[in-house]
Amino acid sequence: MSNRFSYSNVAQSSSAPNGSNLEQINYNTPKNTILFIGNYRPTIPLIHEFAALGFRIITGVTDSSERGYEVSHFVSEKWFHSNPDQEPEQFIDELNQLLSERQDITFIMPVAEDMLLLIQSHLSNLVRSDAYVMVASDLIKLCLDKARILDFAEQIGVKQAPYKIVTNHMDLLKGAEEVGFPLVVRPTQPSMKFGSRKALLCKDMNELNHHLPNWPDEHLKLIVQKQFSGRRHNLYFAARDGALFRLLETVADRTDHADGTGLAVMGRTIAISGVLRNDTELLLKKMNYTGIGCAQFLVCETTKNHSFLEINPRIAGNHMLPTKAGLSLGPLLVALTKNIEIANLNSTEMITAEPGLTYVWTYGDLGGCFRDWKNGRINFSSALKWGMLAIKDAVSADMHMTWSWHDPKPAIAGYKERALGFFRKKLNSACF
């Protein structure tokens, strides 16, 4: 099958969106081309970061991905490929053919978690496997297995709420009694959900049986954990050989689910917490971590106690935050995993970001509001208040996760695609 390309009429220069605050990296090559695959919202700031360094940008495009990024002014080419969720082997074949034909493509960066796992599981069969930009496979396997990373954190003394790993419905009920209510049930495998939910909150046994009257066959294991009341703190980092040298801490004030689970849609950067920094440093040191990622904790606002959640060994969904803060995590992922020299880098010097900046992801905010109202989780009055709050926050926020005045087309295209999808569903339901 021949690879399908679309070419954009953009100048091949090192110009980038105004306001970029990026380290200059010495790649010792006159020009590099990077291909982003498994694209969704963090692809937009990644495009801006690498455009600032003079890279030619190619984006993979498929119907399965969140759209909009491909219309960025800084995208030079679009590569149209098979749906990797539905036809993973076909996609891998197309990718291998592309890289065999296009020796000019220097790096390939998997963005979404599903794509990262697909590439990691096929590394031995990939053409030019050394061109893929991601942390080491053993780190991916450890961090993305939620049960393993909890066990690892417990073994090295990182604080977390009591938990049990269960493999059947009887163990689920027994584990619930042992950890006590209220509790949360989470999948152990990445990208697995309970419908649209990443976790189930249960205040008593009746609610647990309501949510899970039987064992969900698609899950091999589940995490049953004592519910820890607190806000989610994300620590975006870069490390080399287990030594931390970039750090940004944010707190999520609201998520795209009314119950507080799900994805952050509004929050702020804060001063680095010494306790969370220490736990993050301990985790990275014990893993001998090289690369970038995001460590997540829950923190009680009153007692300041905390509980470890997970480490994501990849580009984070809200990657616009560390990009705007000047941490250059996208280019650093290339530099660290490919052992490329970075000018003026001192890995023993900690560089942190400015606290007090607010951020929003309005697209996810309004989408979550509509979904929860449609599914009956909130009433119309609550949905209206949520929608008004989302608009208010969008106007006042310092940072938007997809919007850029210097490159507005991706965000506009994303909203357009969502609106068209809504009307298509309405039309189909009306016709059939």
User: What ranges do the domains of the chain cover?
Assistant: 28-134+404-432, 135-158+229-401, 162-226
Residue 355 confidence (pLDDT) above 70: yes
Q: What is the mean pLDDT of residues 349-357?
A: 80
CATH of domain 162-226: 3.30.1490.20
pLDDT, tens digit, 9 for 90 and up, residues 409-429? 998 988 887 776 656 565 566
Distance CA 274, CA 265 (A): 25
pLDDT, tens digit, 9 for 90 and up, residues 170-190? 999 999 999 999 999 999 998
Closest CA to 314 of 180, 143, 154, 199: 143
CATH of domain 135-158+229-401: 3.30.470.20
- Relative to beta strand 351-352, strand 291-299 is unpaired
| H or E element in which residue 270 lies | strand 264-270
Rg of the Cα trace of the chain?
A: 22
**By the 8 A CB rule, do 363 and 414 touch?**
yes
Distance CA 302, CA 97 (A): 56
DSSP assignment string, 292-340: EEEEEEEE-TTT--EEEEEEE-S--TTTHHHHHTT--HHHHHHHHHTT-
**By the 8 A CB rule, do 248 and 325 touch?**
yes
pLDDT, tens digit, 9 for 90 and up, residues 221-239? 999 999 999 999 999 999 9
Top-level class of domain 28-134+404-432: alpha beta
Please provide the average confidence, as pLDDT, over all residues in the chain.
88
Q: What is the DSSP letter of 288?
A: T
For position 64, what pLDDT does the model report?
62
Distance CA 89, CA 428 (A): 31
For position 53, what pLDDT does the model report?
86
For position 260, what pLDDT does the model report?
86
Question: Is 162-226 in the same CATH topology as 135-158+229-401?
Answer: no
**By the 8 A CB rule, do 394 and 400 touch?**
yes
**Residues whose CB is less than 8 angstroms from the CB of residue 135 and which lie 6 or more positions away in sequence, other chains included:** 289, 290, 291, 292, 293, 313, 314, 333, 337
Structural tokens at position 86: 């539905």
Distance CA 277, CA 321 (A): 18
Bridge partners of 9, per DSSP, are: none
For position 116, what pLDDT does the model report?
96
